[in-house]
Structures are given as structure tokens and as C-alpha cells.
Structure 1
Amino acid sequence: MSKLIKIIIVNILLLGFVSLMVITILDATLIDAKSITNIRTSPIPAVRGNIYSENKKILATSIPEYDLYLDFFVIDSKILSLNIDSLSILISSLFNDKSAEEYKNSLLEAKKNNKRFFSLQKQVDYTQLKSLINFPVFKLGNNKRMDVKSYNSNKGGLIIKQRMTRKHPYDLARRTIGIDRVTSRRVGLEGSWNGYLEGESGHREEKYIGSNVWIPTGRNIKNSVIGKDIVTSIDVLYQDIIESSLKKKLLEEEADYGCVVLMEVKTGYIKAITNLKRLESGKYFDSYNNAIGTKNEPGSTFKLISLMIALSDPSLDISINDTINTFEGEFKYFDRTMEDARKGGYGKITIKESFEKSSNIGISRIITENYKGKEQDFIDRLYSILDHDFMLDIAGEPKPSFTTPENYLWSGVTLPWMSTGYEVEMTPLQILSIYNAVANRGEMMQPKIVKRIESNGFVSNQNQFTPTSMGVICSEKVSDLLIELMKGVVLNGTAKNIKSEFLELAGKTGTTQINYTLRDKEEMKYQTSFAGFFPADEPKYSCIVVINNPKKQYYANTVAAPVFKEIAEKIYNLDFDLFRNKNEDQIKDLKLTDNKVLSKKRLEFLSNHFEINKIDYLQKIVSKTDNDLKKGFLPDMTNYNITDASFILNNYGIHVELSGRGKVVNQIPEPGTRLKDIKKITLFLM
């Protein structure tokens, strides 16, 4: 072989080797590129922080729920074939929605088609998932019991998609707690404190398995950071009281909506707040936060502010015992006639009586005659009282509004009507803040609902929110006079029907015509309210009740005021600091409440301190529970300990999920739900 031929052969071999290497490298590059396109980074949503009541009861929390899918490409055919019967029986008994035969057929069909993302079940709770991953096939023959965190979907074929669901164990103060939603604006505490609650998202690696399905690889690039917890001033017992008391009256009156706010006098902390609106079905739902976000003409509850201004004015020499002529119940201001509720009027009465009887003519004449020619002085004094941002913890509070002399809407009838609560607009919370200040010897406290922010139980100084004074709006002397006037309303005036045998109440009724400009065209609509505090001599709590457009009655003394009385007596009966002044006869006369949360606490207290047979009471509960179950309805499990509750429900094949510790205070679904419609029950404990 010539030298030339040898050179040619060597070059050909070298060329072939180089080509092979290039092809190999290109193939590897293409494979790597393809692998890279099958991997992506996706966010790991942070677990949202909890919202707690004052004594650390959970008002809102995030609970994991799981959607489960099967990757039959991973599941071994032989293992499935050997275990299909037992697996189908176990799944059927766990979820109780299909027969074992139906599950068996659907699993075999999915395996036959080698489905990679077969939907097994959605909205599975953690307890169910812990059981499921230890079923045959999914467990892969492991002898040790597996947990959720260590489960590998690449081996067991079970794809677990976790999502966090916001739960409200007590189902109380829903609008104030708010709504956590991604697709639209968050509201309430969930919205205003979202920056603390939301935490910090992480990132994880996911791989593509086909059919537009991505599953986690198990590698987290960055872990998420749990959100901080919000501790509020809400007391779940008081919240339960105000909601049930308000709802009962709203149903009686078929009113459009109502709200109640309960505040601690010395601190301004909101202890309870509710807003209930009538739906087309006739039921009431905690919807828009009218207590904080809706301002309208308050009516006669504003008369307290009018007299506060006049009694505080050093240029005026006014006594609550001065007399004023209300004539025969009608008085003309220019082209408009002001009327008193009582036909024929009250004649000559004192300023104190004008307030007690809620005389429009009496109050308006006091203001107009003393501020004639110096209307701006009255407005300036009003401005100094109302020019505040009252509620900072929850967004959406409007400023109080009223007409001023320089405004083109001002007329000769503005001041007289303003003095009686028209031509001025305030929210219920703003009105309550003024009444609370009077009860607090003239010092106005900023309404607060958030007490502190916690991170893993730790509270820094800047995240501890102490009571805040908004300044003194009247002297102690004037405060004492106004308290005397409000006591008189309950003892001798428009609210004497709510006089209590157990404690002294103080406050003011307010009845407002909410469409008075259309009185000749439409049926009149009214808003009733009562604002006050209790006990009157040493006020601890202030409260406002507002009921809009009641259909049966329309005077505040018969609509809003009785709700105030019921709330005051129940809280007085529950507050152990106030309880010390009661005697046994008073206790026995007070009615036992039907409130779920309250009844347990009161039963314990009363049975410990007075002769109330707790055993007889509980035996009646057990008997009713058994009857409900036999009839096919879910019973009320309130007051049961968890051992008894679980035993009873499990005997009827009901899966029990728990939240909290102690005895049952609430449940989902509600009592009375048909057993055949129930897959599981969640019991909330405290």
C-alpha cells in the first residue's frame, strides 16, 4: 500500500471520528436543552398569618387542603393488579362518595390508558391524606408508616397539590376580619394588614410530565416565609352576644341592615363589632362594614354633641335646669316647620327634659338662640370635635361631613336642623367615639381593633399597639352633666322602657327619617339607633346599635334600644369583674342564653357558684343528640368534649376534623344538616 493511500485512509478515519464526536456532543446538548425546557421555577405561596381574638382564639387561619392526582405512568401494573381490590375498598371508605367497585373500575380504566394526571379527589384534609399515602400501591410496600412531607410522588404515583384555604372557626365578625382574595381587593383586617399577614413567597423547581401538567421535583430554590399573626381586641364571647342579639331583632323587624359596636371605655379597644345585611332569602349575612364605612344623618344621637358644645362654651351661661318653650310641638324656622314627636308638644320644659324627651324644638332653640349671628363659632367647635381620623386599623372610613356658613348650601334652616342630627353625616363608630369620650370623663380614645403583631409568638415593641388618646373634647364637669342627661333618658325619657333591674344604663335614642326629602313621593323610611354605656356610674363599655329601615316599628326606643339593653345585661352577667357586685337572686333571674359560645362559659360559672344541676343539663343535651342522629340529622355538638363527640359521630360513619383544644364551641356543617349529605364534620374547640 502506497504512502499516499495510507494518508487518505487515516484522514478518512479521523474525519469519521470527529463527525461522531460532533454528533454525540450535539445530541447531548439537545437532550440537555430538552431537559431544561421540561424544568421550570414556580412560586411557593407563603402560609398566611392567623388573626386572633384578644385571648388568642383563632378568628381566621389558613388550613391546607389537597387535590390528589395519580400518575399511572409511574404506578407498576403488577403491584396495582395485586392490590386493586383492597385499595378500592380503602379509598371508598375514606371518602365515602363512591362504591369500591366504582373506584376499582375507574382506576383500572385510567391505568389502561396510562393516564398521567388522573383526578382522584379534591379538597382532601391533612388527616385523610396521612391515611391515603399509607394505602397499598401508594406506600410501595414500605414497612414504616409514611408522612406527608417524606412522600415521593415519583415512586408512589400519587401527585399531591396543596393549597391553603382561609377558615373562620367561630364564623364571627366576618366583615371586620375581612376577606383574603387574590383576584379582587382584600377588605377588613385581611386587607388593611395584608403586608404583615401575607408573608414572603418562595420558589421551587417543577418538572413537566405531559398534558400541560407540572409537578414538584422536591427541590426548593427558596423557602417561603410564614406571615405574621394579628392579635385583635375582639372577645369571641361578646361578639357572639352582639351578633345573636342584633340578628334576632333584625328578623323581627325585617330591617334592611343593622350594626353594633362595643367599645372598652378606658382604652378605645373594640371588643365586638358586627354588620348584618338582609339577603333576598330573608337571611342576614355579615356583609359591608356599615359601622365603619357608612356615614349618614345620625338624628337625635347627635343632640349630645350639640349640648356638649353649648355647655362647654365659656361665653354662654347655660344650665341644664334652664327652661325652654317648645310650644305645642311645632315651631317655624323661615319656610320650614320643625315638629316634636309628641303631638301637642311639651310646652315649657328644662334643657334636661328636652334631652330626655328628645325634643327637636327644645334642642334646636337652645342652639339657634345662643349662636345667632355666630353660627361659625358653633361650626368651629363642632369641627374641633370631629376633625379626626377615628379608625386607622381598617381602611375605608369616611370623614364626618357637615355644611358650613361659607358653603352655598347653607341657609337659615341649616343650624336648627343640624343641631338635631340632620345636615350632618357621621359613621356609627364616630358617634360611638363621642359617647365613649363622655363616659371617659371627656377624653376621646382612638378606636382600635389591633393590639399587637406576633411572629412565632414574639412581639417587638414597635408591633405592640397601646391605647391612644385623641385629646379632651369636654371637661369633666361637662362630662358629668351629659352623663346625668343620658341617665335621665333611661330613667324618665324616651328609653325608660329599657330600664334594667340589674344595672344602670345611660344613653340616647335616635330616630332618623332617611328619605325625608321624598316624603310626599315615597313611603317613609327610618333608621333607629341607640348609643350609650354601662354601668352608668362607672362606665366600662360603650355601645351603639343601628337598625336601618325596620318594617314593623320605627322608633328607636322599641327597635334599637332593647338590643342595647339585652347586650348590656348579658355582658354584665358574663364580665366577672362586674359579677362580684351581684347577688344570687339576681343571677337566677337572668335568663340562660342560647348563644353557643356563651352558654358553655355561663354553665361552668353558674354551676360552680350557684345551685344549678350541670349533670341534668348535660343529660338533656345527650338525649337530644341521640334523637337527632336517629332521625338522620346532624346534631348540635356544642359543649361536648372531643372524646365523646368523636365517639358519637364516628359510630355514624362521620369523619371528624378538629381545630383547637377543649370543648366544642362551633361546627361545620351546621346542626340540622342531613347526614346523607355529609362527608366530614369540622369541630372547633376552645
Structure 2
Amino acid sequence: MKKITLYTLLIYLAMLIIGIIASARIVSLVATKGDYYRGDFDTTKVITEDRIFNVNFEYRTGIRGNIYSDENDLMLSTIYIYDLYWYPSQVIDSLKFMHNLDSLVSIFNEVNPRVSKKEYFKIIQNALIDHRNQYNKAVNKTKSEDKQIKNEGINELNKLKNQYKCIKISKATKSNEWVTQEHWDKIRSLFPSKTAYHGGCKVDKRLIHKNVYNNTASATIGYLNTQHSSKYTDSIVYAKGIEGYYDSLLAEEKLVFRKLYANKVLIPLRENRRINPKNGCDIITTINLDIQRITENALNDQLKAINAVWGCAIVMEVQSGEIKAISNLSRTSEGVYEETVDHAVTESYEPGSTFKLITLMAALESGLVDTSTMVKCEENRVFSLKRAFEISDNDGLYNAAKLAYPQIYDYFVAITNMSLQKDLRIEVAKAQTPVLTSKTQREVDYVNVTHGYSIKVPPIYMLAYFNAIANDGKYIQPILVKKIRYPHNKVIDKYAGVINPRICSKSTIRKVKACLESVVTHGTGIRARDENYKAFMRDTSVDVKPLIAGKTGTAFIYDDKERKYSETVKNASFIGYFPSENPKYTCLIFISGTSLDGGYVAAPVCKEIAEKIVNRDKEIAWSQTGKGIIANTPFTKFAHIVDLNKIYKELGYRMNYKVGNDWVMVNNVNQNKELNVEKRNLKKEYLARQLYGANAKDAVYILKKNGYNVIVNGIGKVAKVSFNESTATVELKN
């Protein structure tokens, strides 16, 4: 018993002594090296008697917010791009490296095609041989007994460790020159490693935004720029479009934290326990991808057809103010049209004859002029004001304004009272506002302003004003952002602000609407007549109105070098709303660098967009005219009779065709108000022509049935079929 007590006492005394020594040591460390263990020293390295303290600073960032369409489809996503380097010193397994060198060189050539595979082989082999020779020399020096030579060898080895070959620095503004995650995954699969180096390769990664749909509204959504640096990687700047406007909300949080090492052992710091950078907010735009695709394709086709310099098109929802589509296409040096400049929002132009709408409204608001007032027009003709507006007569509109406002000052006061000059606060970086005041107050300026010269207005402002007419005088802000979604799922809804609840009297709105319809039915906008109106315009039993009501515009472009207006090059435009009876959308088409008028080149684009939107919008299609849905039949160029029968039966149509196993087309309505169905006889030698207008599913089925392998490109209906031996290539287009 005594022995046990003695042993216990000895153990207790030993533990007490150890505790006293440990406590003394801790007190000593806190007193002498406490600041070092907390990282509280000015330099990055401190050497004490028995320890080396190092401090490194590292960045930790959240993820930048994304931009979505109105239906939550991703439009602008955050991705990583890489800068790729190769270090000869980090090639550990030489045999494996040489075995996979062909594959590695192929990847290098893929990310940087400017250097051939042969050149890469030479660069790598020479670098390996040179590194091996220098390494052997440095190792021999470290074995020397001479301290100076030995230190030289150590320094040379450290330098060799940091030598690298730069394979590719990704240019942030050129997506075809990025080193992507896919490239890096290929390299890692060739050379698996637990370190940061794979086959000697290492990457530095950067977060950037990429437009998912390439050209889709990219000039308005925004694209990145770079600030050049001769020493470091170019810094990324978001200064354009919606992304530039909301940069502070989209931006991720960036935090700097310290890492403390004592004799190369990481010391946890209390300040680093809760470092968790916040992600950026997501932006949900008003852009509808279906309407955007319709708008973009229609504009692109027209620009190609007339070889214009650039064009823009916008579709706005009348009551909500939401921009459903916005396309800005400019001709590049390669002759293709791409989104490079946001002409619709960030630039201003002389609107031309579309501004006559404002002149007409101002004249009617005076109470001294009516649409039936006879005015002197060009070539000494006399027409009613309504007819002068229909044919876009410059003198007629000026003389009407002169009758209402003898002085130019009074005219400017009148249009100012209608709020056109007010800032709409468009949610785009560097958005422009109208310049409505002419430089002088001469009579020639009065003449010019009444038909859209000597002033500058961004296209989106003209669209918003026509939208106010469609909205019964309520002038609202066009909006591009629907919601802002914060990182913790808090959502803020955005709504259009009301600029002016009533820009003019109800009677003026009613008269102006009638004039805008007349422009399309009897005036310069006849090429905007829809197919339904043209089919029934001679049917006096029904009051059929045009799908679109709007105004054409043409303005000669001012040549700054010549200091005069061009005699041939114009800006051509058309602005209208549809359906004219109960407007749901307003559309603007603006084409620059053409010799043709707005009625010829812009009005047909608006017509195409309107008809396609109406066909996809059941609410409009079922209520368009007094003839009911039969007058708005969605005709079919190519389909199987069984499928068509199910669809048309569901919609309430009658067909004059017995259901069998045929491929047919529906092209019009007969006198008995039945769908006129025609059989399409398919023959192998005529397939390219006969499949025009078919959907992809039917085209693939028929071609495969005829023994072809099928390649499908694009979206929409069949626009072209080409054959190469046993392969058929189908081009689709909306």
C-alpha cells in the first residue's frame, strides 16, 4: 500500500514539474515571441534564435453574379479562364513525360495555334536538355567544399526551380484564345499529380463573364474590357451595358488574409476563422429569348440583303415597359454582323420622319389644328394633315406646326411639355439622353426640327414615346431588369417608372392612332401590312384593321468631314405597335448606311417580327380580328396530316382533307372557311425543295427513311438541304 502511495506521489510530482516547465515555456514564448505567433511584424520574414517566421498574403474571392433572361435562362455566366505555364524543373517522371509528349504538344497547339507542333517539340526538348545541363552543374557546385561556390550552386538550383515557359496568356476579350477548364482537365488526365504541377504544367486562373448565346443582346447586356499592364496580367473592367450599370451589385467580395508559418508549419490565426467572401447578386433581365431570336434573325437577314453598315431592333411590352428583345448588329471587317456597339441606348441620331409623330401631337394639342385641316405640302399640293402625315410630307408637317405655333420657341415649349426630353434612366452604362434644343432659333431650324433634323435622340427614346401612344398616353420608362436576386435568396422586383401619366389629351391620342394606322394602310408604311390584312382588305363584310400601326422614318446622314448631309446615305427606320386594336408590343427598327427609305427596308422587318410574335402568342392570335381565329390561321409549309389534324382540331379548325398517311401543306382558307390542305408528293430527287419549311424532326425522319445520314445545323424550320453522297446536311432557320 505504501509503495502504491509513493509511486502516485512521484508521478504527481513529475507531472507538476512538467506542468511548471511547460507553463514557464509558454509564458516565455508569449513574452518573447507572442507578436510573432500573432503575425504582428512588419516584414514578411523574421528570424529568431530557433525559429523562422514567414507571413504570406492570399486573396479569397466570391463568385460574380450571373445575368438571366426573363424565364431564368442563363445569358451571362461566370467561368474560369487560365494562363498556362510549363516548368522544366517540375517534370518528375521523364519516361512518362516523353511517352505523353505528343498529346501534350497537341494541347499546347490547340490553345495557341500560332506555334506549330513541330516548334513546340523543339522548344520543350531544348528546354529539357538545357535544364538538365544547368541542373547537373549546379548540383556539382553544391558538393564543393568552398562555401562560396556551394552557395552559388544553391542559388542556381533555386533559380532553375522557378524557370518556366509561358505557353498561353488567355486574352479575356477573345473567347477563341482562352485556355479553358477542358484544356486543363486534359493535361491533368495525362499527368495525374497531387501537386499543383502536372507534367510540369501549372495554371493561374481568373473569373470572367461569358455571354452564353454569343451575339444575343451582348452589346446591351455588356461585355468586358481590359486595362493593359506591361508587368502583370491585364485587369478586367466591366464598364458597358447592364453589367456596367449594375457592376457594384454583380461584383463579388474580395478579401485578403494572412497565412503565418513558423519553421514552415502553418499557424492558424484567429482572424482567418470566418473569412467567407460574399458572392455577387444575380440580375434577371426582361429579355425573352424566343422574341430576341425572332428579332435578331429578322434584322440580320435584312442587313445582309441590303449590305447596311449597322442596324438595331427593339421590342417593348406596352403596359409593363419591359424590353423583350434588343439587337444591335454592326458589319465587321469580315462582312458578318455582330453585336459590338449598343446603338439603341448609348448613341443618339437625327430621327428623321418618325419625329413627325411629335410634331403632329404638338399641333393637335394646340387646338388650332385638326387632322382634317388642309395644309400646303411639297410641290404646291394641298392635303389634309392626316394625308400629309400618311405620305410623310415635310412641308405639310412644318406648315401645320407653323399654324399652331408661329414662333419656334412656342413649338419647343409644346414638345417639352410632353416630357420627351426627360431622362428615362435606362439601366445601361453610359446611356445617352435626347438633345432637343437646336443650336440657333432660326426659321430653318424650325423647318428641320419638325421633320426630325437638327436634334439628336437615342432610338430607345423614340420607341418609348411611340409606346406611350399605344399605352393611351401613359409615358413609362423602358426597363431591362426585372429582378435582382441577392446571395441569400432575397429578391427585389423592378417596375417601370411613370415619366408622365398623360402626355396629351385623349382626343389627340385617338386621332394620332388613326393616323398611324393610315400610314400602314395607305401611306409610306404599306410594306408593314400583314398577310392577314392584305387577304381581307377587300372584304367589306368585316372591318379588318392592320396588325401594325406605325410611322416610317428616313434621315440623310451628316458627313462630318464634308460638313454637309450625304445625298445618298441614309438612316432608315420604322416604329410601330401591334396589334393595332389592342396593343401589346411596340417595335423599333433602325437601319444605318443604306440608300433606301424606311418604308422599304425597316417596315418589312417590323412586319416579320410582329407576325412571328403573334403566331407564338395565343392571346393575340385568338382575338386579332372580327373574323375570329380563322383569319389568323398559322399556315404550315410541311407536316404530316395526322399531326396537323390533331393540332388544328384542338384549335377548332375544319380541314377539307381526309386523314391518311400523307405529308401535306396548309396555305390558305377557302370560301367555306375551311383550311385548304394540299398533298406534298415526296420524291427522292426533289427532297431538297420539298422539305423546305419542315420541322427538324420530320426532315430527319424522311431523310433517314430515304437512306441518308443526317447532320442538323441551327434552330427553327428547314431552310436548306444539301447532299454529299450518303450524307444530308439540314440548315434550320427561324
2:514 is matched with which residue? 484
Question: 1:53: how far off?
Answer: 0.9
1:319 is matched with which residue? 370
Aligned residues: 552
1:495 is matched with which residue? 525
Letter in 2 for 1:29: T
2:16 is matched with which residue? none
Contact between 1:367 and 1:416, CA under 8 Å: does it hold in 2? no
In the alignment, does 2:416 pair up with 1:383? yes
Q: Aligned match of 1:163 in 206, 213, 233?
A: 206
Contact between 2:69 and 2:75, CA under 8 Å: does it hold in 1? yes
Contact between 2:556 and 2:566, CA under 8 Å: does it hold in 1? no
Change (3 A) 1:92 1:232: same
In the alignment, does 2:345 pair up with 1:292? yes
Question: 1:619: how far off?
Answer: 3.7
Letter in 1 for 2:375: I
Q: Deviations over 1:52-106 (max 9, x none)?
A: 1111112111212334556665665xxx256446655775787785699999968
- Secondary structure of residue in 2 paired with 1:549: strand
Question: 1:467: how far off?
Answer: 2.4
- Secondary structure of residue in 1 paired with 2:400: helix
**Residues 204-603 of structure 1: pairs in structure 2 closer than 5 A:** 222-313=275-366, 316-326=367-377, 329-330=378-379, 347-373=381-407, 375-384=408-417, 385-403=419-437, 409-456=440-487, 458-460=489-491, 463-471=492-500, 472-502=502-532, 504-515=547-558, 523-550=567-594, 553-581=595-623, 583=629, 586-589=632-635
- Secondary structure of residue in 2 paired with 1:636: strand
Normalised to the residue count of structure 2, the TM-score between the two structures is 0.66
Change (3 A) 1:120 1:506: same
Question: 1:47: how far off?
Answer: 2.5
Which is higher, the Rg of structure 1 or of structure 2? 2
Structure 1 Cα separation of the partners of residues 388 and 371 of structure 2: 9
2:77 is matched with which residue? 61
Between stretches 299-308 and 378-387, larger displacement belongs to 378-387
Change (3 A) 1:627 1:487: same
Structure 2 Cα separation of the partners of residues 46 and 533 of structure 1: 44
- Secondary structure of residue in 1 paired with 2:209: strand
- Secondary structure of residue in 2 paired with 1:282: coil
Q: Deviations over 1:486-513 (max 9, x none)?
A: 0000001111132112361100011112
Letter in 2 for 1:271: K
Question: 1:390: how far off?
Answer: 1.5
Q: Which runs of 5+ in 1 are unaligned?
A: 1-25, 140-150, 209-215, 331-344, 593-601, 630-634, 641-670, 673-686
Contact between 1:70 and 1:116, CA under 8 Å: does it hold in 2? no
Structure 2 Cα separation of the partners of residues 453 and 239 of structure 1: 21
Structure 1 Cα separation of the partners of residues 557 and 50 of structure 2: 74
Q: Deviations over 1:637-663 (max 9, x none)?
A: 7589xxxxxxxxxxxxxxxxxxxxxxx
Identical pairs, percent: 28
- Secondary structure of residue in 2 paired with 1:402: coil
Q: Which runs of 5+ in 2 are unaligned?
A: 1-44, 111-116, 136-159, 169-177, 228-236, 533-545, 639-643, 654-663, 665-693, 718-729
Change (3 A) 1:60 1:620: farther
Structure 1 Cα separation of the partners of residues 347 and 331 of structure 2: 16
Structure 2 Cα separation of the partners of residues 591 and 300 of structure 1: 38
Question: 1:572: how far off?
Answer: 1.5
Structure 1 Cα separation of the partners of residues 703 and 79 of structure 2: 30
1:632 is matched with which residue? none
Question: 1:416: how far off?
Answer: 3.0
- Secondary structure of residue in 2 paired with 1:525: strand
Normalised to the residue count of structure 1, the TM-score between the two structures is 0.70
Structure 1 Cα separation of the partners of residues 318 and 455 of structure 2: 25
Structure 1 Cα separation of the partners of residues 245 and 715 of structure 2: 33
**Residues 20-35 of structure 1: pairs in structure 2 closer than 5 A:** 28-29=47-48
Change (3 A) 1:91 1:535: same
Change (3 A) 1:154 1:485: closer
Question: 1:433: how far off?
Answer: 0.9
- Secondary structure of residue in 2 paired with 1:202: strand
**Residues 183-194 of structure 1: pairs in structure 2 closer than 5 A:** 183=227, 186-194=239-247
2:21 is matched with which residue? none
- Secondary structure of residue in 2 paired with 1:393: coil
Structure 2 Cα separation of the partners of residues 637 and 361 of structure 1: 48
Letter in 1 for 2:588: I
Change (3 A) 1:289 1:128: closer
- Secondary structure of residue in 2 paired with 1:557: helix
Question: 1:526: how far off?
Answer: 1.6
Change (3 A) 1:104 1:294: closer
